[in-house]
Amino acid sequence: MTATRSLDYWRAQAQRLQPRHQAFIDGRYVDACSARRFECLSPVDGRRLAQVARCDHQDVELAVRAARRAFDRGVWSEMPPVARKRVLIRLAQSIEAHAEELALLETLDMGKPIHDSLNVDLAATVRCFAWNGEVIDKWYAEIAPTGPNELGLITREPLGVVAAIVPWNFPLLMAAWKLAPALATGNSVILKPSEKSPLTALRLAELALEAGLPEGVLNVLPGYGEEAGEPLAAHLDVDGLVFTGSTAVGKHLMGIAGTSNMKRAFMECGGKSPNIVFPDAPNLETAAEAAASGVFYNQGEVCTAASRLLVHRDIREEFLERVVAAGRRMQPGDPLDPATRMGAIVDRAQFERVSAYIERGREEGARLRSGGSQCRRDSGGYYLEPTVFEGVSPQMTIAQEEIFGPVLACIEFEQDEEALALANDSPYGLAAAVWTSDITRAHKMARKLRAGSVWVNYYDGGDMTAPFGGFKQSGNGRDKSIHALEKYTEIKATWINLDP
């Protein structure tokens, strides 16, 4: 999807943009019932992008009713899978046709480089809708191994009304990971994007309608977590709640799901992923590049960020030197410049949060090896240097907590068992990586790492074909692959007496 556009081109396009700013309910853009709005500011340069509808429980009520009506009418839920497939593939094609516009919205709204919005977020979003469309008329039901006088059918049915609450770090892609399987399986959905990045979700709603999704099947409610997210999570007519975001909010929402109507609840949450480098890594330069991009990519605002580097004592100094050099090559630039590989932190609050962690690292005795400061101050946005701490001990705050910014904590080890114990010493279990040429060591480590994704000799690999999600407090349930379809469906056993 690479476009050979110049910085001037993107700047000119940015001036022309008129983002959708109203909620999308029952196939129409509408103001919030309260008529309130919130400011949507760009972290790129502080400009105001829009004043967005600030939805609350009243809008939730309207959206749930619309979603329920659409579901009960069967206009989507009872459509043959092959017909739903056509709509989802048309939507994928439409997203691809509007990729530049959506990528620009994403970059302006949350600060990531336009290069990444286009080539990663948009490309993967297109693939996600297409993949889920393609799979849905190939997903067979089962027949139980019964005796000759009865027939046991094991079928899957959509949950009904699904609420999807998503974060700001990959706004469109995280929405796609929920929407595509939820829609493919016939549900009606209410999407609540993050208040920090609502714009692409609002535009997507209209593209979905144009692609043939019936009115009411997809509703988008922008707004704050407590005001719009919580009433959705608590609603008695919502059958499923799927969430991507922080572990703290995920735990809170599981409680609400449980005490309201026991809606099916699946949480994809935070991480503090270990990246383990042995001296026999196939190529130390490649490993160092990956260690840097693993934590600095997307300004470090990635759930799988390789934020804990566990490096063997014998190569520590040489390896760190390479990581620091690779980090320097990723200095933040103007996100609209196609050459930029690191952009702006999403907003002032997140910038201050990450800066406080850097300060905490210093106070607790970690040595700042590079970075640690604000840069591009004149831009009006929020930019942080790629930051590397060495001499980190496992108990330090920067080794334990998810920072969600461009901050690397380096911890050294000597023995394999020690590396494993350090890697698993975390409440999180989202991802982990091992770099070694020893196949036995690689397999043993991979087997014992308590993480939902393990990479050997690379970082952040994966596509739609494999499930993605976490062990421990990184969440339950999985996004992507056929496994994701399961959480949007109830399983039903139907018994037929063949000898009545």
Site residues, ligand NAD (CB under 6 A): 165-169, 174, 192, 194-195, 224-226, 229-230, 233, 244-246, 249, 252-253, 268-271, 303, 402, 404, 430, 470, 474-475
Distance CA 405, CA 401 (A): 11
Cβ proximity to ligand NAD: between 167 and 333 the closer is 167
Identity of the residue numbered 238: V
- Tell me the closest approach of the beta carbon of residue 350 to ligand NAD, in angstroms: 7
Measured torsion, CA atoms of residues 341, 343, 346, 348, in degrees rounded to the nearest 10 = 150
Amino acid at site 307: S
The residue from 40, 128, 303, 410 that is catalytic is: 303
Specify the residue, 3 or 482, whose C-beta has the smaller distance to ligand NAD.
482
Q: How many CB atoms lie within 10 A of CB 379?
A: 17
Q: Which is nearer to ligand NAD, 156 or 450 (CB)?
A: 450
We find the least distance from the C-beta atom of residue 378 to ligand NAD, in angstroms, to be 27
Tell me how far apart the alpha carbons of residues 113 and 103 are, in angstroms, rounded to a whole number: 9
Residue number, 165 or 287, with CB nearest to ligand NAD:
165
Tokens at residue 105, please? 């919205």
Min CB(499)–ligand NAD separation in Å:
49
268 is catalytic: yes
Name every residue whose Cβ is closer than 8 Å to that of residue 50 and which is 6 or more positions away in sequence.
19, 20, 21, 40, 199
Question: N- to C-terminal Cα distance for the chain?
Answer: 60
Of the pair 136, 175, the CB lying nearest ligand NAD is at: 175
Residue 29's region, left for phi above 0, alpha for psi from -120 to 50, else beta, is beta
Bridge-based pairing of strands 428-429 and 431-435 is unpaired
Active site residue 33: no
Which of 476, 469, 484 is CA-nearest to residue 132?
484
Q: How far is the CB of 469 from ligand NAD (least distance, A)?
A: 6
Q: CB nearer to ligand NAD: give 245 or 381.
A: 245
Cβ-based nearer residue to ligand NAD, 217 or 234: 234
What does the block give as tokens for 226? 């407590």
Query: Closest approach of Cβ 193 to ligand NAD, in Å?
Result: 6
Using alpha carbons only, give the angle 434, 436, 437 rounded to the nearest 5 degrees: 145
Nearest approach in angstroms of CB 226 to ligand NAD is 5
CB of 85 to ligand NAD, least distance (A): 25
- Residue 113 or 214: the one with the smaller Cβ distance to ligand NAD is 113
How far is Cα 76 from Cα 295, in angstroms, rounded to an integer?
A: 41
Residues 195, 230, 268, 289: which is the catalytic one?
268
Give Dmax (Cα) for the chain.
81
Residue 493: CB minimum distance to ligand NAD, A: 31
Rounded to whole angstroms, the Cα distance separating 328 from 461 reads 23
Question: How would DSSP label each residue in 163-232?
Answer: EEE--SSSHHHHHHHHHHHHHHTT-EEEEE--TTS-HHHHHHHHHHHHHTPPTTSEEE--S-IIIIIHHH
Tokens representing 181?
Answer: 């399987």
Query: Pseudo-torsion of CA 330, 333, 336, 342, nearest 10°?
Result: 30
Q: Which residues are catalytic?
A: 268, 303
